[in-house]
Amino acid sequence: MPISPRYWRIVKYLLAGGVGVGLYYLLLYVLTEYADFWYLISAAIGGAANYASNFLFQKFWTFGNKDRTTVKAQAKQYAILFISLGSANLGLMFILVSLLHIWYIAAQIPVTLLLTAIGYRITRKIFST
């Protein structure tokens, strides 16, 4: 049975986002463990790298939005989304790590799942043609 376009778009969103999330986790871990950055600084740097890769993958591949005349407006909307999600990420990480004393990598996993679900719904509205 073929996969429906709706579900295929979700799969593509997760695959494309996986590249950015992988980069995020790599930077989070390496900067925290080896460069001795505070975990929230590492998370912010990883988030910026995640934003850059995700914008291109989501716009052009996941949602198939080839319209180049809307790139600036969509980049602005996507930046607002990422700043909002990034702020939520940092806030939740602070609560889980600094207040509840959960290891920063373990704390990041449920936060990633939650924010991915929220991000998909908003990203779909930004890039849907």
Distance CA 100, CA 9 (A): 36
Tokens of 91: 């806030």
> What pTM was computed for the model?
0.85
Q: What is the pLDDT of residues 84-103, one digit of tens each?
A: 999 999 999 999 999 999 99
Q: Which domain holds residue 96?
A: 5-127
Per residue in 59-89, pLDDT (tens digit) is 999 999 999 999 999 999 999 999 999 999 9
Q: Tell me how many domains the chain contains.
A: 1
Q: Give the Cβ contact number of residue 44 at 10 Å.
A: 18
